[in-house]
Amino acid sequence: MNDRFLRVPGAAFSENADEKIKRLPTPDGNFESWIKMRVQLFHHAAESVPCMDARRNAQMDRRMEYILYEQKGNIATITINREKALNALNSQVLEELDAVLDTVNLDEVRCLILTGAGQKSFVAGADIGEMSTLTKAEGEAFGKKGNDVFRRLETFPIPVIAAVNGFALGGGCEISMSCDIRLCSDNAVFGQPEVGLGITPGFGGTQRLARLVGAGMAKQMIYTARNIKAAEAYRIGLVNEVYSAETDGDGNVVKTAQEVLLAAAEKMAAGIAKNAPIAVRNCKKAINEGLDVDMDEAVVIEEKLFGDCFETEDQKYGMAFFLDKNKEKVKEPFKNC
């Protein structure tokens, strides 16, 4: 474990608290009341268990408790699996997410999908029960912990697609913005409600939201703590696409919105994975690094990464196939070399 990562009391959940949290309605009405209810439930749950230190030390020696990882060919899916807590991000979830990125075989995997377990929530936010007793120094350290993991996800060599189902509030919105592409189901709710809790966004929300939707819209969302639905998230450019359930002629649901969403994410990932991996990785690096500098420096970054693609097997094959006059030839997969 990184020595700079802070261990603080965490919110394990009693069965009673689990059930109450699962029954929380979508916060379309009185958002302040919804936040207060969520704070009370998380805080009650946190007080009902001992310090997480001993539990976490034991769990780190076993399999991951809150992160699922599945690889299918060139695509891998990471699922935040803390459904009873609406997939809230506590220290253990962040540690496991950081650890699972170490397991990704970049020789094989060409695109990642990040999603949350269950239909109600992608990630409902950072764990309020864990944060509620932090000191100033501990709060800063917790923010750094989340930022280190999210920044690693953002700069991960291969593309990452967020498949957002349900709540993406606070840390949930922030982790989705750390991904390259955001797709969501029509029940998704995005927001940065932190000022309603007496804090600022702490996992990059003030920075990434402004870059994605513009400073004016970001300030409006953050200052008002207003949550927005999927359609508005699409309108302002926060998400790339919104998916709804599929129905038959009689109006019966054939596929849920979440099933449609995940299928679309997998289809997009497959489309990315079929392209030359070195070129895709270099494109991600060029875009990310270019956004942080002025245009004169940005085009130099692109030039170097453009040149880096030449003399690779994939570049030689891709151009040779394009120039081949035998149009009946079937294109073979790129070799990632």
Catalytically annotated residues: 174, 194
User: In three state form, how does the secondary structure of 72-130 look?
Assistant: ECCEEEEEECCHHHCCCECHHHHHHHHHHHHHCCCCCCCEEEEEECCCCEEECCECHHH
- Contact between 233 and 188 under an 8 Å Cβ cutoff? The reply is yes
Q: What is the DSSP string of 283-336?
A: HHHHHHHHTTS-HHHHHHHHHHHHHHTTTSHHHHHHHHHHH-S-TTPPPPPP--
Chain centroid offset of residue 73 CA: 21
| Assigned token pair, 65 | 């408790």
- Contact between 52 and 116 under an 8 Å Cβ cutoff? The reply is no
